[in-house]
Chains A and B, each alone.
Chain A
Amino acid sequence: MAKDRANPLDYSRKTWMRLCMGFTFVFLYFPIVSLIAFSFNDSKRNITWQGFTLRYYEQAFNNSQLHEAFLNSLIIAGISTTVSTILGAMLGLALYRFRFPAQGPYEGLVHLPIVIPEICMAVAMVAFFATVNMPLGLTTITVSHIAFSIPFVAVVIRARMAGFDRSLEEASRDLGASQWQTFWNVTYPYMKPGLVAGALLAFTLSLDDFVITFFTSGPGSTTFPIKIYSMVRFSVTPEVNAASTVLIVITLALTVAALIIQSRSQGPTHA
């Protein structure tokens, strides 16, 4: 006479709740999944399934403009990641470690790029580059990407350091190490997973960004998302789907890597 009754608070076992959640997940995944699925569809009209093909991936790979845009995106993301990870880590460490005058307003200011509408930052950058007479191109995009990535990296580093035991540094100093030696031998190893996670985040942000890139790019500095945007403006084609799928796979792989690194580093060191 074994019974398996749900407990009163097992809301996730109630049928209506499951329907509700099921509907929401269909809503969340149907567009993306269908986009990916129809990048393999052997039909230009793109709406009914005509059979599997990799034709559109071939087309996308042989599209020299897409090639160039992708290369641009990688160059920008590479430089932006390097610079913003270093600067963001410094900022995160400073915020974690020090008390200083006007800290509240300062923190508000450096986190501003996270909270303000992207369009506001985008047009401000345009105004700035025009004022200082800097021609729009790869440089202006990269500079802007670094600016909005720094606070994100800083937040990741600071969160990582929140679990750090300051007495380890004190122990190192007590045992005769200099500040610099203490940093390299004690603080830096602890911080490393945060650096990797922060760098991956900065890379994804840069690779994905559309709005700010769109405004700060000039002729000849088309990035991957911008190229896709210009293709999307014309029509929905399987080739766009194929290019989009490639970008989705890259960002997802990077993010999953960041997640794994973060969760692995949070486990044992905290205990």
Chain B
Amino acid sequence: MPDSNTIITIRNVVKRFGSSVTAVNDVSLDIRRGEFFALLGPSGCGKTTLLRMLAGFESPSEGEILIDGEDMDGVEPNKRSVNMVFQSYAVFPHMTVHQNVAYGLKVAGTPKGEINQRVGEALALVQLESMADRKPDQLSGGQRQRVALARALVKKPKVLLLDEPLSALDAKLREQMQLELVRLQKSVGITFVIVTHDQNEALSMADRIAVMEHGNVLQLAPPAELYEYPNCRFVADFIGKMNLFDGQVVGARDGRVVVRVNALSDRVGDLELPYDGEARGGVGVAIRPEKLRLSSSEPVDEPVRLRTRIMEVVYYGDENHVFLEAGEAKFTANLQNVSRGAHAGVVRGEDVWISWRQEDTLLLTS
């Protein structure tokens, strides 16, 4: 039974298209009242289908969806207390900004005075008061998106659904809108469910993120947990960058798992990694590029260290990406340019030592 903190309950939802395509495969999750929730995954992972089922544009083949405790089976989109911001914004081109925002109130039979007042408030919320009489074709992409937001928010929905809302904006504007969406969400207190394929967007905005692939939710966690403790290779690889190696569990010692990585074992020996569960057989060993340290002399007090050759250095301004090789093993290390010329010695062809902490190493069993 969902508790009063839950606004959306998705239970064993399956969505099939035709007989061969399963877009959403037995997904169950709860979305909490007032949170900023992100559905993250590559295109075709089923996230948009899931969102459209919440809005009522698709209906589940199996399972149920509850919004604020009510079963949504057979409830048409216009009878649901959720509203959507479309990827294309879908701002009606034949209506002014004011008419667009007023539309949802007008069809609900709201008195004219109240409509004008609420539309005014909504436009103020997205800072578009001065544009009320414009037509959408006189607005920029960012402004059109604000209209779409105001149009949905003016309905005071229980949940606001956002389908890739920032994908059509350029990079600068996108970053600005991320901040603004978070501010907006906190100020109105409405639950936001956003669909995105952009990990940065999800990490920077959401309270919790569900990572989806092939119609399944792989991991549901707050951003930091997702980044630092991915539960599988897909999540580890999809969010941020990762150095990934194949290894085998060869034993257990003091509550730690002993793993042999074929490509590394002759240089660093077996790794002892912290792991809570039972692990055996083939596993993945992963370390984030920014957690690698480079030094010209051997860092003797680090337990995991090896000598590598620099194959390539790519300069990005704020950081350098260094591509390293030690025999079979290939690494990427990200170095912050904390001061000018901080890594002047890191050049192609040189040999350096790399090292990392056992605690920063991840063991991935799936």
Nearest A residue to B77 via CB reads A8
Chain A min CB distance to B254 (Å): 49
Q: How far is the CA of A15 from the CA of B134 in the complex (A)?
A: 40
A3 with B57: CB separation less than 8 A: no
B73 touches A3 (CB 8 A): yes
Within 8 A of A (CB), among B37-75: 56-62, 73-74
> A2 vs B56: C-alpha distance in the bound complex, in angstroms?
17
Complex CA–CA separation, A9 to B59 (angstroms): 12
Contact status B57-A7, CB under 8 Å: yes
Contacts A8-B76, A8-B77 known; A2 to B62 CB distance under 8 Å? yes
Q: CB-CB contacts of A1-38 with B at 8 A, as 1s and 0s?
A: 11111011100000000000000000000000000000
A2 to B62, CA, bound (A): 5
Establish whether residues A1 and B62, one from each chain, have CB atoms under 8 Å apart when the complex forms.
Answer: yes
A residues in contact with B57, CB < 8 Å: 7-9
Considering the complex, give the chain A residue whose CB is closest to the CB of B76: A8
Task: Say which residue of B56, B59, B76, B77 sits within 8 Å of A3 (CB atoms).
Answer: B59
What is the minimal beta-carbon distance from B209 to any residue of chain A, in angstroms? 28
List the B side residues contacting A8 at CB < 8 Å.
56-57, 76-77
Whether the pair B62, A3 counts as a contact (CB closer than 8 A) is yes
Chain B: CB-nearest residue to A4: B61
Residues of B within 8 A of A3 (CB): 59-62, 73
Once bound together, how far apart are the Cα atoms of A4 and B61, in whole Å? 6
Alpha-carbon separation in the docked complex, A3 to B75 (Å): 14
Could you say which residues of chain B place their CB within 8 Å of the CB of A7?
A: 57-59
Closest to A5 in B: B59
Name the B residues within 8 Å of A5 (CB-CB).
59, 74
Which residues does chain A contribute within 8 Å of B62, judged by CB atoms?
1-3
Shortest CB-to-CB span from B354 to chain A, Å, is: 47
Q: In the complex, A2 Cα to B60 Cα: how many Å?
A: 9
Complex formed: what's the CA distance from A9 to B55 in Å?
13
User: Chain B residues with Cβ under 8 A from A4's Cβ?
Assistant: 61
A5 to B56 CA separation, bound complex (whole angstroms)? 11
A186 to B58, CA, bound (A): 49
In the complex, what residue of chain A is closest to B74 when comparing beta carbons? A5
B61 and A2 within 8 A (CB):
yes
Contacts of A1 in B (CB 8 A): 62
Instruction: Name the distance in Å between A14's Cβ and chain B's nearest Cβ.
Output: 12
Bound Cα distance A248, B77 (Å): 48
Nearest residue (CB) in A for B16 is A2
* Residues on the A chain within 8 Å of B76, using CB: 8
Question: What are 6 A-to-B residue pairs whose CB atoms are below 8 Å?
Answer: A1-B62, A2-B62, A3-B62, A7-B58, A8-B56, A8-B77
The 5 closest A-B pairs by CB, nearest first: A5-B59, A8-B77, A2-B61, A2-B62, A8-B76
Where the two chains meet, the residues of B that have a C-beta atom closer than 8 Å to any C-beta of A are: 56-62, 73-74, 76-77
